[in-house]
Amino acid sequence: MTGTTRIPPAEISGFKGAIIKRFARKALGQVPSSIGVYWHNQKVLMTMAGLGGKLKKWDACDEQLKSFAHMAVASQVGCTWCLDFNYFEANNLNLDMDKAREVPRWREVAVFSPLEREVLEYAEAMTVTPPSVTDEMVAGLRDQLGDAALVELTAVIAFANFTTRPNVAMGIESDGFAAACGLRPLAQPTTLTS
């Protein structure tokens, strides 16, 4: 659950704040702690939220693959907020929750298809610094997904990095969305990965 953020949350106030709080409560059951931190710069908050909303409209790539990729980035970067939220969202989208639960230890379990494993590996390869994406990774995914879906998947992974890293830097942690709706806890890796 949420600890102390490195930038104390601001009071979410005014007409715009009331709308955001109402929308968050309706969609999520609560106002995420991250909104208070980002409220210090509402242009940043609105741009990130707006971009995230636009990504949800993309439909060239399978939703489950995109969800797993985002969770893989969150797990690798250590963004407990993003990992928890995306697990919660996977439930709302009726995705395979047994697989979603295992994303943090995808290398250790046998529940993922070969394509899902390639997507998870690609997400991690894009996330390390410097990125370690290979020609073979792209060629394999391109053959299976097609160009439009691969471009979309790549952009979703880039967006995941765009959102996870600032949360970690600012100390924004899980708000317990998954626990609040009764989901089993996410699996934890039993081995360290690089």
- At 191 the pLDDT is 66
Q: Which residue has the higher pLDDT, 191 or 76?
A: 76
Using the predicted structure, report yes or no on whether residue 2 has a pLDDT greater than 90.
no
* Rounded distance between C-alpha atoms, residue 66 and residue 103, angstroms: 12
- At 162 the pLDDT is 97
Which residue, chain included where needed, has tokens 């610094």?
A: 129
* Rounded distance between C-alpha atoms, residue 96 and residue 15, angstroms: 38
Residues 6+ positions from 22 with CB-CB distance below 8 Å: none
Using the predicted structure, report yes or no on whether residue 192 has a pLDDT greater than 60.
no
| Tokens encoding 125 | 């390869």
Asked if residues 73 and 131 have their Cβ atoms less than 8 Å apart, the reply is no
pLDDT digits (tens, 9 = 90+) for 97-129: 999 999 999 999 999 999 999 999 999 999 999
pLDDT digits (tens, 9 = 90+) for 25-71: 999 999 999 999 999 999 999 999 999 999 999 999 999 999 999 99
* Rounded distance between C-alpha atoms, residue 22 and residue 17, angstroms: 8
* Rounded distance between C-alpha atoms, residue 152 and residue 157, angstroms: 9
| Tokens encoding 4 | 């102390």
Residue ranges of the chain assigned to CATH 1.20.1290.10: 63-180
Q: Which residue has the higher pLDDT, 109 or 191?
A: 109
| Tokens encoding 129 | 């610094």
Q: Which CATH class is domain 63-180?
A: mainly alpha
pTM of the model: 0.93
* Rounded distance between C-alpha atoms, residue 17 and residue 144, angstroms: 44
Q: Is 93 exposed, middle or buried (0-12, 13-18, 19+ CB in 10 A)?
A: middle
**Mean of pLDDT values over 94-99:** 97
